[in-house]
Chain A
């Protein structure tokens, strides 16, 4: 995954529970992103962070929260307010200065 680790690969959540998805990178990038992917669809941006201690909402931030306390880490919390959390979640880092984003291998979240 080019220095990006997403964990866990599969996650099951009961309705009403919060869960946190991990994204760690050792590529020394300032910018990190969280995307959501539903079957047969493209990627939708949830949150992004361009620098430590700062982050911005993307297109579908409702029901999600993030933190950026360290350059290497950008965890995503899926809260109970997210009505349809079952999806594939992708973390990305980097910019389009060269080759664009580098993506992690993803976390598949299922609500049971």
Chain B
């Protein structure tokens, strides 16, 4: 699986958009970008994933650059409950086991 690089930490004002970047310059053509988040002392929770088109769901939007070497997770109106660690993962979609790397992620603090 391709490795990802994320900033260690970010701050965001409550009510503003939080934009979390992720670099994955060695991503392969069949690898998806997945985002998870982990609220303190809980298990990680799936947010969104995509291959090359931008994706949106009720939680967030995912913007993937045309060359697919980076992506941005957007939380459109951050709330205090969005304070968490956000993980960016790239891997092939499928049922077979491949090592999944959950790195240190980005610690997002939403400030009142």
Q: Interface on A for B, CB 8 Å cutoff? A: 1, 4, 31, 35, 40-43, 45, 48, 50, 88, 90, 92, 95-106, 108
Select which of B41, B97, B99, B104 is within 8 A of A31 by beta carbon. Answer: B97
Contact, CB under 8 Å: B43 / A103: yes
Sorted nearest first, the 4 A-B pairs with minimum C-beta distance are A103-B43, A43-B102, A42-B103, A95-B95
In the assembled complex, which residues on chain B have CB atoms less than 8 Å from the CB atom of A97?
93-95
Cβ contacts under 8 Å, B68 to chain A = none
A95 touches B43 (CB 8 A): no
Give B residues with C-beta under 8 Å from A. 32, 34, 36, 41-46, 49, 87, 89, 91-105
Contact A88 B41 (CB under 8 A): yes
Cβ contact of A105, chosen from B43, B91, B103, cutoff 8 A = B43
B52 to chain A, nearest CB (A): 17
Chain A residues with CB below 8 A from B32, complex form? 96
* CB pair B97 A48 closer than 8 Å: yes
Question: Which B residues lie within 8 Å of A103 (CB)?
Answer: 43-45
Which residues of chain B are near A1, meaning CB under 8 Å?
Answer: 43
Residue of A nearest to B44 (CB): A103
Q: What CA separation (Å) do A23 and B101 show in the bound complex?
A: 21
B94 to chain A: which residues have CB within 8 Å? 95-97
Residues of A within 8 A of B45 (CB): 103
List the B side residues contacting A100 at CB < 8 Å.
34, 36, 46, 49, 89, 100
Cα(A96)–Cα(B98), bound, Å: 9
Are B49 and A105 interface neighbours, CB within 8 A?
A: no
A95–B99 contact, CB under 8 A? no
Q: Residue on B with the closest CB to A31?
A: B97
Residue of B nearest to A4 (CB): B43
Query: A42-B103, A96-B91 are known contacts. Are A104 and B34 too (CB-CB below 8 A)?
Result: no
Bound complex: CA A106 to CA B42 (Å): 6
Which B residues touch A95, using CB under 8 A? 94-97
